[in-house]
Every structure is written in structure tokens, then in C-alpha cells.
Amino acid sequence: MKSTHKTIRFDYSKINSDEDRRYWGIHTINGRLHIDTKRYKKMCIKANGSEFLPDGLFKNRSTPYFIPAHVRENDYLTNKFVNLISSMKRDWFNEYKKVLGSIETPTQVEEKTRFNDTMFTCCSEDLEEIAVNAFLSGVKRTYKYEKIINSLYYQFVQKVCTEIQRYMLLVITDLGYKNKNFSFDSFRDFSDGILNDKNGAKIEELKNYDDFKSLWLINNFLKHNSIGAYTVLKKKYPQNVHPLKGEDSSIKYENGMYAGNWINIEEKYIDNIFDKLIDFFKDYCKIFLKEDMANSTWNYDEYFEQAYRKLAHLDDEWY
């Protein structure tokens, strides 16, 4: 028997302001957003907001309104990791890196010394001595400068890794992790249990695994300054360790030596690590947690709330 039920459409002629969500086809029913996709699409196109029309929104469905799969952006664990790492990336480039750039370099000290000494002489015969003194001032600054830069640089490396480890623990705890301690091995073993497939993917096979694991081991070495941490890092990633700068390569690492003096990483290591970590955790959430990467970018109530505020010019920026 053919159903005689008729869907009652909302009367948009009664809505005159684009500051009303319903103008855009966005309705709140029982605390959740319901999207009238025909109206939403029409008004987005009219407002030149086609970027807010994700393809998946228009797939066939049996209900008159589209109800997003989740309420919040961070209900997708993918987004928890991506937002955390993206936030640290912004902090690094907008705040921390600027601080590092403000620290006086050996070259700056040399130039300042030469300039100051030159201001107090009118004799050309003094210029050679002034140049030597300026050079020596720059040399003396080198040790202090490198010590300060390395200290701040490695502190941020530790911040990145510590925050990521904290989020990893939060995520797997929500998924049922019960242990009181947390390590890379426990993360791997728990993840294998989630997948429950002996022949399935392994953590080691994920995108940029080596970048993730080497960061973990570098942080572990910086944190413990122990022979054990040094040995593991050197065994797994020998390119990331070296003898003390300027010292005989026969010197062996001993407990309590400052790990930062023995770590070897590229000059732009932090600049490049964020995107690699994002790719690693996207792959992890896709393979181990079975999250849909395409849906994670839009299929939640907050997305349409943010889209509405942008389209109605209630927000100056798209967050």
C-alpha cells in the first residue's frame, strides 16, 4: 500500500533575516540541528558560499532533513588530534619561533661590538684591533647562544610530544584502556586489540610512523638523560644522535649527561614535524578507529553552526 504521508515543508516566506538559522535551512529540533538540504544549498549558492556544500551532504537518504552524525567537531577523534597539533603549529610559528629569533646571535654581538668600539675612536690604526675584539666577542657569544637556543628548542619538542602523548592516553582511555601506566608499547598493544585482526595493519605501517616514533624516543631521551634512552634512540634512529659537538667521537654517553648535546635533528625539524604527525594520526584514526576522513571535516552540528555564522557575516573569520 502506498504511503499517504506527506512531508510538511517549512514556510520560508515568513523568515526575513539571514541572521535566523532557519533562513539557511538550518533547524533545531530536540537539541540537534536538522538541515533542509534543498534550502541550504539554494541559499549557500545565492550567498556565494559553495565552499560550505560538502558532497556527502547530498547523498540519498530516507528522511526529509539531514541530521549530522555528531554534535561536536571533536566527536571525531581524528579532529581531536588534528586540532591539537594544528594549535601547536600556530603557536610555534606565531609565538615561540619569534622568541627564538629575538635572541642575540654571535654575529649580532660581533657587529654591535665593532660599531660601539668604532664610535669611540678616530684613529684608523685602531680598526684592526677593533675587528679582532669584535670577532672574539662573537666567538664568546657562540656557546651561550647555542645553549639558550637548544634549550628552548628542545623544550618545545618536549611540549609537542607530551601534549600528543596526553591526547593519545585520553583517546584510548575513552575507548576502554584501564592500565595506570602508559607507554608506546601499551598504546600499540591496545590499538592492536581494537583492530582485533592478527593479520591486519600494524602501527609501524602507518604514514610517517618513523617521524612519530623518533619524536617519542627523542623526548624520552630528553626527559630521562639515561644510557637506556640513549641506546634505544641510537639503535632505532642512529641519524638522530651524535657525540658532543667539537669533542672526540670516542667519548661515550653516560647517565646524567645532557641529552640535548647528543641529539642530532635538522634545523627545521619542528617546522616540518606538525604535518607529518597530522598524517600519522589521520591514518591511525582511519585504520584502527574506522573513522571516515571525509565525514570528519563536516558531518557534525558545529560545522553547520559555523557555516551559518560565516554566511550570515556574524563571524569575521572561519575558525
Looking at residue 69, what is its pLDDT?
95
Looking at residue 72, what is its pLDDT?
96
Low-confidence ranges of the chain (pLDDT < 70): 1-8, 61, 109-110, 114, 117, 120-126, 138, 243-249, 316-319
What does pTM read for this prediction?
Answer: 0.83
Looking at residue 2, what is its pLDDT?
42
Looking at residue 150, what is its pLDDT?
86
Looking at residue 116, what is its pLDDT?
74
The domain segmentation of the chain, as residue ranges, is: 12-73+298-311, 77-101+150-290
The amino acid sitting at 50 is S
Could you report the per-residue pLDDT of 244-258, keeping only the tens digit for each? 655 566 788 999 999
Cα dihedral sign for 237, 243, 244, 245? negative
CA distance 164 to 192: 19
Please say whether the beta carbons of 27 and 8 come within 8 A: no
Looking at residue 123, what is its pLDDT?
63
